[in-house]
Amino acid sequence: MPEFERLTDGALAAGELRAARLADGTPICIGNAGGQLFAVRDECPHSAFPLSNGTLLPGARLECGWHGAQFDCRTGAVLEGPADDPLVRYEVRAEDDGVYVRGEAMTS
């Protein structure tokens, strides 16, 4: 099983989105939705727009800045189209010195 990779120094503030990359080059969007960290592939499944350039809305809703698709950033579920496919999610954890993401997509 892939190990956790350190993607940021320090913590993310509530409402913050940040772009990062795994060691294999996979683009990751990490964020803080009301104190809950999440990590998803940094590509909208509808148009490949970087979700880190989107908006984190109340209720853990991540909105793509291009066509307005909205997702539940905790589960990856599509909340509003035009996207049909859910987000690819990654396991994330915070430690004193940064945010870490496991380098393999979650299957559930």
24/63 Cα distance (integer angstroms) = 26
Q: How far apart are the first and last CA of the chain?
A: 16
- pLDDT at residue 1, as a whole number: 66
30/32 Cα distance (integer angstroms) = 7
CA dihedral 74, 78, 79, 84 (to 10 degrees): 170
Instruction: State pTM to two decimals.
Output: 0.93
- pLDDT at residue 2, as a whole number: 78
- pLDDT at residue 95, as a whole number: 86
> How many CB atoms sit inside 10 A of residue 57's CB?
14
* pLDDT tens digit at each of 108 positions of the chain: 679 999 998 889 999 999 999 999 999 999 999 999 999 999 999 988 999 999 999 999 999 999 999 999 999 999 999 999 999 999 999 987 899 999 999 876
Q: In what order do the strands lie in the sheet with 55-57?
A: 55-57, 61-63, 70-72, 78-80
